[in-house]
Amino acid sequence: MIRNLLLISNSTNAGEDYLAWPRTYIQDFLTEFRVRKVLFIPYAGVNLSPVSIEKSFDLYEERVKKVFKELGFALDSIHRSPNPVVAVNEAEAIVVGGGNTFHLVSLMHESGVMDAIRRKVFQGIPYLGWSAGANVACPSMKTTNDMPICEPPSFNCLNMVPFQINPHYLDANPAGHAGETREQRIEEFLTVNRDVTVVGLREGCLLKVRGDVMNLVGNRPLRVFRFGMDAVEYYPEENPGFLLV
């Protein structure tokens, strides 16, 4: 199966510059495919400006474009295109930023780019996304951490990997917090979706997928959840490629 993916849990570690920790991986990934310009999907960035969502998209584009320019890549944002599907069809690579997954998925469906991106990726163009951008690579968005600020036409997503990612996966509850842990939330999901595998992808980690080969990159293990089974940890030196089967 043709697919070239870089699925990043988070854009920024605490105390670091924006997109600091994954920069080398992003640069190497895009350079490998001789990408010169990427198409950026800013639809998850809803609150960068109090003026309007459109202005938030402008600011998001500006922030990400600065980083990609430093890495040697040009960037166009899809929100400036009069025809988003055409923009996807003409793209060398797709980059999907994090933010609110509900808003991202809603606009991806409404603009028609959900299906267009999937077609292009399975034709071979590279795809990278962080946080919400990693979540939408999955069959659905149901393992997002985000508030439902809008109602997408469907929860179905790109289905480029056969498992669900829970980005920013946390092990513990904050002191004094009486609500559910992240693991309990995932167990709720599995009770209803019993044939689905969920990957808890901790911050500072990413999944690199080339065809039917997948590697975990980072200094922390991922956590694999299946219904009726104890969660299992897999470290970067262990091959998590079985998750693609």
Q: pLDDT tens digits, residue range 121-146?
A: 999 999 999 999 999 999 999 999 99
Condensed to tens digits (0 to 9), the pLDDT of residues 9-28 reads 999 999 999 999 999 999 99
Handedness of CA 200, 21, 2, 89 (dihedral sign): positive
Which position among 9, 56, 131, 140 bears the catalytic label? 131
Within 10 A of 204 (CB to CB), how many other CB atoms are there? 17
76 catalytically annotated: no
Which position among 52, 146, 154, 177 bears the catalytic label? 146
Assigned token pair, 180: 């559910």
- Picking from 21, 17, 172, the residue whose alpha carbon sits closest to that of residue 9 is 21
Which domains does the chain carry?
4-161+203-217 (3.40.50.880)
User: What confidence score (pLDDT) does residue 241 get?
Assistant: 85
106 catalytically annotated: no
28 catalytically annotated: no
Q: Reading across the β-sheet that carries 94-96, which strands appear in turn?
A: 74-77, 37-41, 94-96, 127-130, 4-8, 205-210, 213-218
Condensed to tens digits (0 to 9), the pLDDT of residues 45-73 reads 999 888 899 999 999 999 999 999 999 99
Condensed to tens digits (0 to 9), the pLDDT of residues 170-202 reads 987 767 776 789 999 999 999 999 999 999 999
- Picking from 226, 238, 169, 170, the residue whose alpha carbon sits closest to that of residue 8 is 169
Of the listed ranges 80-84, 167-171, 230-234, 237-241, the one predicted with least confidence: 237-241
Distance CA 38, CA 68 (A): 9
